[in-house]
Chain A
Amino acid sequence: MNIKRTLAVVIAGGALVGQTVRADDSDELKALKQEIDALDQKVRILERNGELDKDAAAEKAKTVPLIKLDGSGFTFSSADTNFVTTLHGLIQFDNRTFFGDKNINGNDGFLLRRARPIFTGTLFHDFDYNFTPDFGGTSVQIFDAYLNYRAKPWLQFKAGKFKPPVGLENLQSDTVTAFNERSVVNDLIPGRDVGFQVWGDIAGGAFSYAVGVFNGVGDARNSANFDFEDNREIAARIFALPFKNTSIKALKGLGIGIAGTWGESSVTNVTGLPGTTGGSLGGYTTDGQQQFFAYNPATGSVVENGTHWRLSPQAYYYYGPFSLMAEYAVSDQQLSRVGPTPARADLQNTAWEVTGGWVLTGEDATYTGVTPRHNFDPKTGGWGAWQLVARYGQLDIDNNTFPLFANPASSATGLETYSVGLNWYLNRDITVKASYSHTDFTGGGKSAALTSPSVVTAHDEDVFFTRIQLSF
């Protein structure tokens, strides 16, 4: 064979083979490219759908209600926060033990002093509400039921049933009072009433005012939710923390104010007399919640008839662990005695108190309570916060009350009360209290009746209180 031909055939054959291989590669590459493009599209689609799902989830989250549970209660809120409701709770489990009360039966014992589910909330950001029934005591009552509109911090409108703006200690939350029971000044202050109030805080709370019109209730009495007695009572209060916004730390916690009420009442109104837990007649109670004074003349019965006004200058001071609160109250009331020998008088009762406290563990004392730095937890060495408290109070009944409007043999003409106590704040929500209160009476105690106020004023009152409190 010719070598040149052989070589030409070999070369031609190699070129042919090479061409076949390149054509196969090209098809395969094209197919691979298509596959890659398709996979690329799939990945892009997955990513884009992921983005859209995320956007949709974010949109949906805007409509999902919010639920929160913490030490301040159980809160439900709509996604747009136009509807917010918080469920709080208050349970106070007390013990009262009286010493040396020879002739008094049935005053020692445990009691559920307060048991309240508290519903608070805000609608459309500016409308606050509060509904608080109470299951403690002997019957279920509505304590608070009101709506408050916050037009501005300095201009707010409140309507419903709530505490009129009068007593400093009375306006303090039930959960943070220094002692189990408020001082004798509260004997002369109205309890919860139904009405309408305009109020506000100015300069970040450095000055506050409140003025309202209410049905009008007797001293220490809570309104029965209605009172169709035609007359109304005006209540007003101003309170200032003049150094709140200054740099004088030692005086930032100084607050002073004055409050008062004025109203008229008709002769048929018995709810205008003081409320009492100790007996069947209107009157006043001790720290131990026993009636020491009653409108119990020998003949006839007493009703409010005419003008009733009150005035209460008040102040507090908080600085670090130190606290001091002082209040004075005068309740001036026109009364009538109805019966065989009618009588009429304008009687003025007065009371004052001063309460001091010291948080032994160093936390700050405030008007709104003590928050422990370290919650009680023996495992971590936390013991909560401990506070020592002491109080002195006096209440004087107008001498002109006797004998036409009250029996001097059974009702005291006044009292002095001394109290000391120790409060243990385990955490923000649980508090344990223990206190001792001694009360000396002036007058009374000469009647043989075994009912209040006779039996109460026959001896000094000595009572030991304890309380276990849950509030959230």
Chain B
Amino acid sequence: MKNILKSGLLTVLAAGALSLAVITQASAKDVTLLNVSYDPTRELYADFNKAFAAYWKQKTGDTVIINQSHNGSGKQARSVIEGLPADVVTLALAYDIDALNKNGNLVPADWQNRLPNNSSPYTSTIVFLVRKGNPKGIKDWDDLAKPGVSVVTPNPKTSGGARWNYLAAWAWASQKFNGDDAKIKAYISSLFNNVPVLDTGARGATTTFVQRGIGDVLIAWENEAYLSLKESGTNEFEIVNPSLSILAEPPVTWVDRVVKRHGTAEVAKAYLEYLYTPEGQDIAARNFYRPRLQEVADKYKSQFPDIKLVTIDFFGGWGKAQAAHFADGGTFDQIYKPK
């Protein structure tokens, strides 16, 4: 009798578990997200999306498909403002996400407080990528303004990375010339006089330097420089760290208006939060972004050299930096005249 009862109970339990599995499977759904990102993050998000999809499937049973869009950060922000239905944006600088609030209230004004580290799960900085053997002897920022040196950097009007490049150069020049505006401008002008091609984004600039073989030095995101070394091998290029650079903090957020319309708020938030997890941080570090999580930063310490860094606060924040340098009629427009 006892055995019959036990068998019966086990059978009922097994049937219940099977039914639950079937019901769960039947109610599992497909979710699609669009991540609108800046130019050089293709490899990062290719790895990250795979990991997040696996995590989400295990957690909820739902299949999440993440579509990526990459281009210059400024261009991407404008596209989202004009209707590109981004569930999340992972752009190069906070100013470009602020624009989503100012133009159409796509994100709230306090978006940066919603995730840790001012919504910046990883950081990077600006370094120089030079030809193997460094034939032009590039050591620091002043070498980039010398005659006969050809510099590759993207257009600050369209590329977030280019804006970080420009501000890093300006910060160095500010220190070198003790804040003398005329000398700083003269230096920046000389630097941009050495720029033969102005790509719209950081990846385009890498293509120009690495694949088209143009220029003596590429001013690049640190992660982009290391990626180029990894892909092209150390026989073609080498990295030169300048004496001073800037702490680039690429931010991320979900686009409230879009996720509300798509019904993807929960998964979009989870997607970005996953960037802060140990696995997310490890993926970032493997793709040469400086992780925030200390345990992961310690693991990859030897990969990232110590460079003296200034932050955007050096310029009074992004609002002031954008207005002074990159807005129409700003310093960049005064200095750079297309050839």
Contacts and interface: CB of A to CB of B under 8 A. Distances in A.
B150 interface: yes
B214 A44 contact: yes
Contact of B199 (A41, A45, A47, A52): A52
Contacts of B204: 52
Nearest to B216: A41
A45 B196 contact: yes
Contacts of B212: 44, 47-48
A41 B197 contact: no
Contacts of A48: 197, 208, 212, 214
A49 B197 contact: yes
Interface in A20-42: 41
Is chain B's binding surface mostly helix, strand, loop or mixed?
Answer: loop
B213 interface: yes
Interface string A44-72: 11011100100110000000000000000
A33 to B, nearest CB: 12
B199 A44 contact: no
B200 interface: yes
Given A41-B214, A44-B212, A44-B214, A52 B150 contact: no
A49 B338 CA distance: 12
Contacts, number: 23
A47 B198 CA distance: 13
Nearest to B339: A49
A41 B208 contact: no
Contacts of B198: 52
A45 B197 CA distance: 7
A45 B214 contact: yes
A56 to B, nearest CB: 8
Contacts of B213: 44
B198 to A, nearest CB: 8
Nearest to B196: A45
Interface string B191-217: 000001111100010001000111000
A52 to B, nearest CB: 6
Contacts of A52: 197-200, 204
Interface of B: 150, 196-200, 204, 208, 212-214
14 contacts: A41-B150, A44-B212, A44-B213, A44-B214, A45-B196, A48-B197, A48-B208, A48-B214, A49-B197, A52-B197, A52-B198, A52-B199, A52-B200, A52-B204
Given A41-B150, A47-B212, A48-B214, 18 more contacts: A41-B196, A41-B214, A44-B212, A44-B213, A44-B214, A45-B196, A45-B197, A45-B214, A48-B197, A48-B208, A49-B196, A49-B197, A52-B198, A52-B199, A52-B200, A52-B204, A55-B200, A56-B200
